[in-house]
Amino acid sequence: MPLRLHRKRPEPWPVRKQRIRRTWLIPLCAFEWFWENLAFVLGNWSFLEVLEYLGNFGVLIAVVFYFAESGDRLKQKHYQAWQVINTAQGKGGSGGHLEALQELNTDGVPLVGVDVSGAFLQGIHLQRAGLVRSNFSTADLRDCDFAFADLSDASLRGANFRNCTLRSVNFGGADLTDADLFGADLAGADLSAATLTSADLRKANLSGIKWSNAAFKNANIFGVSNVPQGFLADALKHGAIQVESDQ
Q: How does pLDDT run across 157-168, given as a tens digit for each residue?
A: 999 999 999 999
SS3 content of the chain, % helix, strand, coil (to 5): 35, 10, 55
Give the DSSP letter string of 70-89.
HHHHHHHHHHHHHHHHHHTT
pLDDT at position 30 = 81
> Number of helices and strands (H, E) in the chain?
6, 0
**Which amino acid is present at 209?**
I
- Tell me, what DSSP letter sits at residue 24? G
pLDDT at position 120 = 93
Whole-angstrom CA distances from 198 to 45, 50, 130, 139, 157 are 86, 78, 26, 17, 10
pTM of the model: 0.70
Residues of the chain with pLDDT under 50: 1
Taking only the tens place, the pLDDT of each residue in 86-135 is: 875 655 555 678 999 999 999 999 999 999 999 999 999 999 999 999 99
- Tell me, what DSSP letter sits at residue 180? B
pLDDT at position 75 = 80
pLDDT at position 39 = 74
pLDDT at position 73 = 66
Cα gap 168→149, rounded to integer Å: 7
pLDDT at position 88 = 59
pLDDT at position 199 = 98
